[in-house]
Amino acid sequence: MDLLMYSHNKQGFTLIEVLVVLTLMTIIIGLSAGRLLRTGSTAIREARSEIKSLLAVARGEAMYGRDGRMIGVKIADGTMMLVSAIPTATTTSLQILATDSETIAHIATNPQEVELWFYPYSGRVSSPGEIILRDNWSQASTSITIGYEGSIE
């Protein structure tokens, strides 16, 4: 009879086992969430860096080359373009110099369509202001400020 009193049929987990598993799951989820947030902020920083580089190239080309052409940057629907134009009294002929459609595919800009022109020889910008970038996945955001004299911050 004593043998029957001390035999256990184990059909579940103890409270300690459940708490250990929940603690481990919480730690793993916390670490992966942090990694995802860092990835999102990395994407927005890379997009900001690439847009700033493209703006600097456009400004340099306008100041030192292209035979008096205006050089611009257009950003629309996740595509960045380096463009050039010869301004005349009646029309402006636009020539696309380079396109990068992969760079900001999931980065939204505000305003939604950005078009900046740098004037030849002076490097001044046609429409100074701020471009706000937002990563649609991580909701991280940053901005680029363009001054009238062509400064990019």
pLDDT per residue as tens digits for the range 112-127:
888 888 888 888 888 8
Contact 139, 152 (CB under 8 A): no
Q: What is the DSSP annotation of 32-43?
A: HHHHHHHHHHHH
pLDDT for residue 37: 56
Q: How far apart are CA 113 and CA 39, in angstroms?
A: 25
Could you give the 3-state DSSP secondary structure of residue 100? strand
pLDDT for residue 11: 73
Tell me the pTM: 0.68
Angle at 128 between CA 122 and CA 132, to 5 degrees: 135
Which helix (H) or strand (E) is 45 found in, with range?
A: helix 15-64
pLDDT for residue 34: 62
What's the length of the chain? 153
Q: How far apart are CA 85 and CA 117, in angstroms?
A: 9
Backbone angles phi, psi at 150, to 5 degrees: 100, 5
Per-residue confidence in pLDDT tens, the chain, 153 aa: 455 555 555 677 788 888 888 888 888 888 776 665 555 578 888 888 888 888 888 888 888 876 778 888 888 877 888 888 876 655 556 777 777 766 676 788 887 888 888 888 888 888 888 888 888 777 888 888 888 888 888
Can you name the residues that pair with 23 across neighbouring β-strands?
none
The 10 Å Cβ neighbour count of residue 113 is 9
Q: Which of 21, 37, 31 is nearest to 140 (CA)?
A: 37
Contact 82, 98 (CB under 8 A): yes
